[in-house]
Chains A and B, each alone.
Chain A
Amino acid sequence: DQQVKQNSPSLSVQEGRISILNCDYTNSMFDYFLWYKKYPAEGPTFLISISSIKDKNEDGRFTVFLNKSAKHLSLHIVPSQPGDSAVYFCAASASYGGSQGNLIFGKGTKLSVKP
């Protein structure tokens, strides 16, 4: 039951260019979406989030876009740097009854930024 899908297992980008990571979801009850970055043998590091009432959120080089009708979100990294090379996870949650909502993760996309 893949409620959150990241269909590209890997992405390779040249330093300085834009990286676009995509994520699709199926559960219309999701109301909050997050992107995490993860290095091997470390925990996920929170990058940026977006509420379902918005369609864009920007933080420095990172921008997340949400298209609710298509149940699609994307993370844009501009400009990409070699230090951005990691696995990026999309996650979604649905709050209800006072619960903050547990996270449902995608399988991740491995980003490689080449100098």
Chain B
Amino acid sequence: EPEVTQTPSHQVTQMGQEVILRCVPISNHLYFYWYRQILGQKVEFLVSFYNNEISEKSEIFDDQFSVERPDGSNFTLKIRSTKLEDSAMYFCASSEVREQYFGPGTRLTVT
């Protein structure tokens, strides 16, 4: 069964460093998303992407964040200068229609 994959599973970085989280969405899906879950809190929407552009973004998704689809299979989330409060699980999701399928997540730890 097709699934969303994410790499790395765990990323540790120092405050102020740039990180890139990678995702491979399900191949026939056209809509891509990033969500995050801070420990003990809700899963929160960050950004959605369709037709090579951002279709929607939340207040969390400020100028420090960017997304890219560098080729036909990968979808990346870049955090330009990480802060302690960026520590969270980051989930990539993709959809063909309304049902979104999630990857296993990347645990980002900012020290």
Contact = CB atoms under 8 A, between A and B. Distances in A.
A44 B42 contact: no
Given A44-B43, A44-B91, A107-B42, A100 B98 contact: yes
A20 B29 CA distance: 32
Contacts of B44: 105
B42 A103 contact: no
Contact of B98 (A32, A41, A106): A32
A43 interface: yes
B45 A102 contact: yes
Contact of A103 (B45, B50, B55): B45
B103 A43 contact: yes
A95 interface: yes
Interface in B1-46: 4, 6, 31, 33, 35, 42-45
A99 B56 contact: yes
Nearest to B91: A43
Interface in A31-80: 32, 34, 36, 41-46, 49, 51
A82 interface: no
Interface string A76-115: 0000000000000101010100111111111110000000
Interface of A: 32, 34, 36, 41-46, 49, 51, 89, 91, 93, 95, 98-108
10 contacts: A43-B4, A43-B6, A45-B102, A49-B98, A89-B43, A98-B55, A99-B55, A100-B97, A103-B43, A106-B42
Considering the complex of A and B, which 6 residue pairs feature the smallest CB-CB distances, nearest first? A43-B102, A102-B45, A105-B43, A44-B102, A43-B104, A32-B98
